[in-house]
């Protein structure tokens, strides 16, 4: 097995007295697409935020490309080559599409992704580049959020619920862009509510339930029954 690009061991997370993660173990290999599924409140976003340094971590280890990143700030994690497309997109409303994309470039990493490459991936963004990001549709805003993460030229990109609130046709467009993103060897973690979609695009899947890993397996091997049990806790 190759050295994992990201290796999480025994990760715990707290909001005050409330414990949201109970010793999560998880890894992703270079070039792999990993899916994380789980019901509302299972801890998926908390896990993403812990890894990217947006939430100060409790006990546990997070190694990225061999380096311990568990105590790094979000900007330091980004510089190491890990980018997140956050749930809800979180664009800067007063900035244009192009200006939002350029935020990603501030990380200062070199690589294949620049404005031209993002515009080739999502041509509509070039047409709208000088418009306020708020004037775009939800799907187009999601494209900006993805483009902004790509502009940081990450080695691992994490998508937190990219299909949330989008129409099925738009979700299809967004997922159609995925091969163009990962073909260059980038690894990806996809957090998804849509289980079928998650299994379709990934090679391995983890299910979280109440802050614990309830299932880990190859996406084309896990059964519906295993997923139901892991997702809902139904015996």
Closest CA to 154 of 218, 65, 22: 65
Nearest residue (CB) to ligand ATP, 81 versus 211 = 211
By CB under 6 A, residue 89 contacts ligand ATP: no
What does the alpha-carbon distance between residue 113 and residue 116 come to, in Å, rounded to a whole number? 8
Nearest residue (CB) to ligand ATP, 46 versus 202 = 46
Mask of contacts with ligand ATP, 165-204, x by CB under 6 A? ----------------------------------------
Q: Distances in Å between the alpha carbon of 194 and those of 112, 150, 223?
A: 30, 23, 15
Q: State the minimum distance, in angstroms, from the CB of residue 42 to ligand ATP.
A: 4
Task: State which of positions 30-59 bind ligand ATP (CB under 6 A).
Answer: 38, 40-46
Phi, psi of 139 (to 5 degrees): -65, -40
- Do the beta carbons of residue 40 and residue 210 sit within 8 Å? no
Nearest residue (CB) to ligand ATP, 36 versus 151 = 36
Q: Which two tokens stand for residue 79?
A: 């510089």
Nearest residue (CB) to ligand ATP, 44 versus 128 = 44
Q: State the minimum distance, in angstroms, from the CB of residue 28 to ligand ATP.
A: 18
What does the alpha-carbon distance between residue 21 and residue 189 come to, in Å, rounded to a whole number? 18
Q: State the minimum distance, in angstroms, from the CB of residue 22 to ligand ATP.
A: 11
**H-helix segments, 151-194:** 168-176, 178-182
- Do the beta carbons of residue 206 and residue 227 sit within 8 Å? no
What does the alpha-carbon distance between residue 4 and residue 54 come to, in Å, rounded to a whole number? 22
Mask of contacts with ligand ATP, 5-34, x by CB under 6 A? ----------x--x-x--------------
Helix axis angle for 138-150 and 97-105, nearest 10°, is: 30
For ligand ATP, how many residues bind (rule: CB under 6 A)? 11
Q: State the minimum distance, in angstroms, from the CB of residue 164 to ligand ATP.
A: 8
Q: State the minimum distance, in angstroms, from the CB of residue 18 to ligand ATP.
A: 5
What does the alpha-carbon distance between residue 127 and residue 223 come to, in Å, rounded to a whole number? 44
Q: State the minimum distance, in angstroms, from the CB of residue 60 to ligand ATP.
A: 15
Q: Which residues bind ligand ATP (CB under 6 A)?
A: 15, 18, 20, 38, 40-46
């Amino acid at each position: 097995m190759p050295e994992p690009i990201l290796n999480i061991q025994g990760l715990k997370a707290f909001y005050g007295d409330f414990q949201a993660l109970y010793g999560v173990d998880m890894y992703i290999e270079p070039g792999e697409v990993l899916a994380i599924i789980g019901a509302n409140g299972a801890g998926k976003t908390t896990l993403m935020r812990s890894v990217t340094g947006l939430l100060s971590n409790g006990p546990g280890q997070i190694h990225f490309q061999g380096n311990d990143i568990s105590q790094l700030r979000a900007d330091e994690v980004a510089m190491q080559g890990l980018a997140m497309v956050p749930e809800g997109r979180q664009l800067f409303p007063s900035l244009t599409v192009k200006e939002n994309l350029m935020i990603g470039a501030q990380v200062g990493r070199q690589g294949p992704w620049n404005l031209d490459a993002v515009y080739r991936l999502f041509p509509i963004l070039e047409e709208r580049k000088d418009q306020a990001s708020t004037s775009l549709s939800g799907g187009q805003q999601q494209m900006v959020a993805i483009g902004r993460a790509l502009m940081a030229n990450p080695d691992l990109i994490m998508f937190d619920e990219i299909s949330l609130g989008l129409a099925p046709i738009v979700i299809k467009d967004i997922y159609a862009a995925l091969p163009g993103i990962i073909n260059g060897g980038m690894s990806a973690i996809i957090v998804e509510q849509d289980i079928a979609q998650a299994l379709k695009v990934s090679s391995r899947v983890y299910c979280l339930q109440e802050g614990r890993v309830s299932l880990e397996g190859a996406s084309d091997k896990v059964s519906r029954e295993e997923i139901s049990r892991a997702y809902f806790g139904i015996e």
